[in-house]
């Protein structure tokens, strides 16, 4: 029954932008009613509890644990092996379709080009692609307009001090 529910959830969410993805807790974690530290604690999930991640909001992930839905700190989770493969498949499919309709057709991957160690060492420069890259550059004004469209507001934030350097 539990499995069936999970499947129903998975299928239901698959239709939306974000399909639920399997994860487990890496430490004992409080399941909160809302994505705030001082929100009501619904239950405490022990380490290695299986949950389905529904969405993320900043440092919080909305999860379903059995019948209970709530929020946990994102970094107290680890996604299950292969949990994001479907996302990658969908993403690649859309990128492939757009590439096909947008231009001269999908690029055929040849054996010579690629990002393996050997291929990088033997890479021959492609000045034409470099010229094409130049054409897509955005100037200051264009970037500012784009940010305003997305209601992005610049903030003053200091760099985080790290260890070592």
Partner 1 sequence: MRAIILLCAMTLAASAHALDFGSIDWDKAAKMVQQVKKANTEVSEPQEIELGSGIAGSLLGAAPLLDNPALQRYVNRVGRWIALQSERPDLPWHFGVLDDEDINAFAAPGGYVFITKGLLARMNNEAELAGVLAHEISHVLRKHHLQAIRKGARSELLAGLADDVIKSRGGDERLGKLVSAGTELYARGLDKEDEFESDRMGVVLAARAGYDPYGLPAVLQTLQSVNPTDSNLALMFKTHPGFDKRLELLGPLMSPALDGLEGQPDLGRRFAAVIGGGK
Of 5, 8, 18, 46, the one binding partner 1 by CB under 8 A? 18
Cβ neighbours of residue 29 under 8 Å, at least 6 residues apart?
Answer: 44, 45, 49, 72, 73, 76, 77
| Site membership for partner 1, residue 8 (CB under 8 A) | no
Per CB under 8 A, which of residues 52..111 are in contact with partner 1? 56-60, 74-75, 77-85, 87-88, 90-92, 94-95, 97-99, 101-107, 109
Query: DSSP assignment, residue 126?
Result: -
Beta bridge partner(s), residue 114: none
| 28 touching partner 1, by CB under 8 A | no
- Torsion angles phi and psi, residue 55, rounded to 5: -160, 170
Phi and psi for 137 in degrees, rounded to 5? -60, 145
Task: Select from 6-14, 42-50, 63-71, 121-129 the region that touches partner 1 (CB under 8 A).
Answer: 121-129
Residue 4 or 115 having the CB closest to partner 1: 115
Closest separation in Å from C-beta 90 to partner 1:
8
Q: List the one residue out of 47, 51, 89 whose CA is nearest residue 70.
A: 51
What is the maximum alpha-carbon separation in the chain? 59
Closest CB to partner 1 among 35 and 70? 35
C-beta closer to partner 1: residue 15 or 127: 127
CB atoms within 10 A of CB 53: 23
Q: Does 162 bind partner 1 (CB under 8 A)?
A: yes
Pick 15 or 58: Cβ nearer partner 1: 58
């Amino acid at each position: 029954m539990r499995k069936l529910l999970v499947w129903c959830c998975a299928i239901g969410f698959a239709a939306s932008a974000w399909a639920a993805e399997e994860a487990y807790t890496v430490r004992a974690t409080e399941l909160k009613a809302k994505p705030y530290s001082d929100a009501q604690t619904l239950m405490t999930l022990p380490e290695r509890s299986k949950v389905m991640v529904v969405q993320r909001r900043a440092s919080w992930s909305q999860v379903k644990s059995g019948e209970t839905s709530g929020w946990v700190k994102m970094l107290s989770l680890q996604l299950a092996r292969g949990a994001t493969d479907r996302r990658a498949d969908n993403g690649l499919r859309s990128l492939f379709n757009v590439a096909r309709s947008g231009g001269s057709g999908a690029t055929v991957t040849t054996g010579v080009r690629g990002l393996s160690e050997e291929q990088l060492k033997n890479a021959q420069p492609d000045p034409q692609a470099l010229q094409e890259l130049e054409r897509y550059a955005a100037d200051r004004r264009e970037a500012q307009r784009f940010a305003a469209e997305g209601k992005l507001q610049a903030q003053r934030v200091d760099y985080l001090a790290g260890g070592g350097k």
